Amino acid sequence: MNHYLDFAKELNLILSEEDIKLDEPMKKHTSFRVGGPADIFVTPKNVDELVKVIRSCKERKVPYFIIGFGSNLLVKDGGIRGVVIKLSKFSNIDIKDNVIKVQCGASLAKTAREALKYSLSGLEFACGIPGTVGGAVAMNAGAYGGEMKDVLCNVTILDHDGNIKILSHDELELGYRTSAVLKNQYLALECEMNLKNGEYDEIKKTIDDLMGRRAEKQPLEYPSAGSTFKRPVGYFAGKLIEDSNLKGKTIGGAAVSEKHSGFIINKSQATAKDILDLISHVQKIVKDEFDVTLETEVRIIGEEI
Q: What whole-number distance in Å separates Cα of residue 46 and Cα of residue 89?
A: 7
What is the separation of C-alpha 27 from the centre of its chain, rounded to a whole number of angstroms? Answer: 14
Q: Are 99 and 191 in contact (CB under 8 A)?
A: no
Q: What is the CA radius of gyration of the chain?
A: 20
What domains does the chain contain, in order, with CATH numbers? Answer: 5-86 (3.30.43.10), 93-217 (3.30.465.10), 237-301 (3.90.78.10)
* Per-residue pLDDT tens digits for 175-192: 988 999 999 999 999 999
Average pLDDT over every residue of 15-32: 97
For residue 3, what pLDDT band results from cuts at 50, 70 and 90? confident
What is the pLDDT of the chain when averaged over all its residues?
95
Is pTM beyond 0.75? Reply is: yes
Q: What whole-number distance in Å separates Cα of residue 262 and Cα of residue 271?
A: 19
Provide the 10 A C-beta neighbour count for residue 43.
20
Q: What proportion of the chain, given as a percentage, has pLDDT over 70? A: 100
For residue 224, what pLDDT band results from cuts at 50, 70 and 90? very high
Residue 111: name the closest of 100, 97, 98 by CA.
Answer: 100
For residue 5, what pLDDT band results from cuts at 50, 70 and 90? confident
Just list the catalytic residues: 177, 227, 297
**Would you say residue 292 has pLDDT above 90?**
yes
